């Protein structure tokens, strides 16, 4: 049997016999010729039945009639999976890839029901209900090929730098950051919590002597938000590294990873992104602008918007305004907001020696939306315990975590970044529902 060929590889092949398999996307059933658009995981191709003359048989003057139509093709429904053997022909007049296949045999492997529940104009909830059908769309296929390329580029950089990949547990005996937004689950005779982040375990790797580490894995937040950028389960990109001098070292690594990821995506998928999403992906120059939070709020205020609370984080409109300013002034989609007040940062963020009210931390804003928080961590046990008390926490409840710091801990820092949010902004999509394989929110647990 002829080996199956991916549609994306047809253009590079010479004319001749070929075998393809895929889903029927469209059928045009004309009087003397039938066309089928077939799509597999790599692309689409036009199949043709009829419209060509047979070689005449001298003994049968009727032998040069057109190849007949077949009821098999006429009855193909959208989504039916077929295997086709035929003759590959290069034809520059064919808009779909410049090739077509003259059908010799067609095998219906699995037939699709005639009424497809997902249409081109279906809303996002209908499409999520039938996600496996929605994911057949070229745009959705591209989203996850982009995701693969982006993560591969990040992993390549980490591995080249000697970082170690870890997988941390998602069932925890206590909260990793705070008891807010926690999912509590039954655990034999007791209770457990779904991890909000791998924060504590990332830091444990520093005490273990791993140096640089990274993880790409699920995180859970019991957040009742229905915004376009929130989910109850999401994929978190995390990294931590030892022997840093300040959070500036973390920001430099963060920049390198972002640039490596976007460069790889642009090189591999740039033309498709332009064609399917109308996105001209820009790779930012380094270094990204760095603006202290207090200064950023003043810039936003000068643009006519005041963040409601002076002692709070930048709100969504503030993020959009500072992003617009940075785009105008620096021509980039990225900006680090730095020097966050200790009152709005976790107890484990290191404080500034010159102004203990500020932390050595940052948020990374991409196209007007926060995608990441990073910081230098406090590695001195006595300071860490004091900062926990300042937050109203009892150090005895942080027992296993604080033990990491009692037997020698290097200076260290890192960040966590939401993968689905990065993809949403990269591809200029309206919601992370479009860039999450199977979205989970307050009212969605299926499929």
CA angle 84, 86, 88 (to 5 degrees): 120
Torsion sign, CA atoms 262, 263, 268, 271: positive
Evaluate whether 436 touches 234 at the Cβ level (below 8 Å).
yes
Strands 16-29 and 81-90: antiparallel
Please report where in the chains the tokens 């409109």 appear, as a residue: 317
Nearest to 194 by CA among 212, 213, 170: 170
> Is 377 part of any known ligand binding site?
yes
Q: CB of 346 within 8 A of CB of 330?
A: no
Residue 370, annotated as binding a ligand: yes
226: nearest Cα among 446, 447, 439: 439
**420 belongs to an annotated ligand binding site:** yes
145 is in an annotated binding site: no
3-class SS shares of the chain: helix, strand, coil, % to 5: 30, 30, 40
Conformational region of residue 116, where left means phi above 0, alpha means psi within -120 to 50, and beta covers everything else: beta
Read off φ and ψ for residue 283, nearest 5 degrees.
-90, 120
373 is in an annotated binding site: yes
> How far apart are the C-alpha atoms of 166 and 314, rounded to whole Å?
32
Q: Does 54 show up as a binding residue in the annotation?
A: no
Q: Which helix (H) or strand (E) holds 255?
A: helix 247-277
Q: How far is CA 253 from the centre of its chain?
A: 20
Partner residues linked to 20 by β-bridges:
84
Block residue for tokens 């095998």: 107
On whether 177 is known to bind a ligand per the annotation, the reply is yes
At residue 186, φ and ψ (nearest 5 deg) are -70, 140
8 Å CB contact between 194 and 173:
no
Q: What tokens does 63 get?
A: 């032998």
Give the residue numbers of the binding site for ATP. 370, 418-421
Give the residue numbers of the binding site for L-aspartate. 177, 221, 373, 377
Give the residue numbers of the binding site. 177, 221, 370, 373, 377, 418-421
């Amino acid at each position: 049997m002829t080996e199956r060929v991916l549609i994306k590889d047809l253009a590079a092949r010479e004319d001749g016999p070929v075998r393809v398999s895929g889903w029927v996307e469209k059928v045009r059933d004309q009087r003397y010729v039938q066309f089928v658009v077939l799509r597999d995981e790599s692309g689409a191709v036009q199949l043709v039945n009829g419209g060509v003359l047979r070689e005449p048989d001298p003994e049968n003057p009727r032998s040069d009639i057109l190849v007949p139509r077949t009821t098999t093709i006429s009855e193909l429904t959208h989504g039916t999976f077929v295997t086709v053997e035929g003759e590959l022909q290069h034809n520059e007049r064919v808009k779909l890839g410049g090739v077509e296949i003259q059908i010799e045999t067609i095998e219906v492997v699995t037939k699709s029901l005639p009424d497809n529940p997902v249409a081109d104009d279906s809303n996002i909830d209908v499409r999520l209900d039938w996600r496996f059908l929605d994911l057949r769309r070229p745009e959705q296929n591209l989203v996850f090929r982009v995701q693969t390329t982006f993560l591969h580029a990040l992993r390549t950089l980490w591995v080249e730098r000697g970082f170690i990949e870890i997988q941390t547990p998602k069932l925890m005996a206590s909260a990793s950051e705070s008891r807010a937004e926690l999912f509590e689950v039954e655990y034999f005779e007791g209770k457990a919590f779904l991890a909000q982040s791998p924060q504590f375990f990332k830091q444990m790797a520093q005490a273990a002597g791993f140096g640089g580490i990274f993880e790409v894995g699920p995180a859970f937040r019991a957040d009742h938000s229905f915004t376009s950028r929130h989910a109850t389960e999401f994929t978190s990109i995390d990294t931590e590294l030892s022997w840093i001098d300040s959070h500036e070292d973390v920001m430099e690594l963060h920049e390198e990873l972002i640039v490596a990821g976007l460069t790889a995506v642009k090189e591999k998928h740039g033309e498709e992104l332009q064609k399917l999403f109308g996105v001209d992906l820009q790779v930012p120059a380094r270094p990204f602008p760095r603006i202290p939070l207090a200064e950023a709020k003043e810039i936003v205020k000068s643009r006519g918007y005041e963040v409601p609370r002076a002692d709070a984080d930048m709100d969504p409109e503030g993020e959009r305004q500072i992003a617009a300013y940075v785009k105008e002034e620096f021509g980039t989609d990225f900006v680090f907001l730095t020097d966050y007040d200790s009152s709005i940062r976790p107890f484990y963020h290191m404080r500034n020696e010159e102004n203990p009210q500020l932390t050595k931390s940052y948020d990374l804003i991409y196209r007007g939306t926060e995608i990441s928080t990073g910081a230098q961590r406090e590695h001195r046990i006595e300071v860490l315990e004091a900062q926990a008390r300042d937050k109203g926490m009892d150090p005895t409840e942080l027992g296993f975590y604080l033990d990491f710091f009692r037997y020698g801990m290097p200076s260290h820092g890192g960040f966590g970044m939401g993968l689905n949010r990065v993809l949403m902004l990269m591809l200029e999509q309206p919601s992370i529902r479009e860039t999450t394989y199977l979205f989970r929110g307050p009212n969605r647990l299926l499929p």
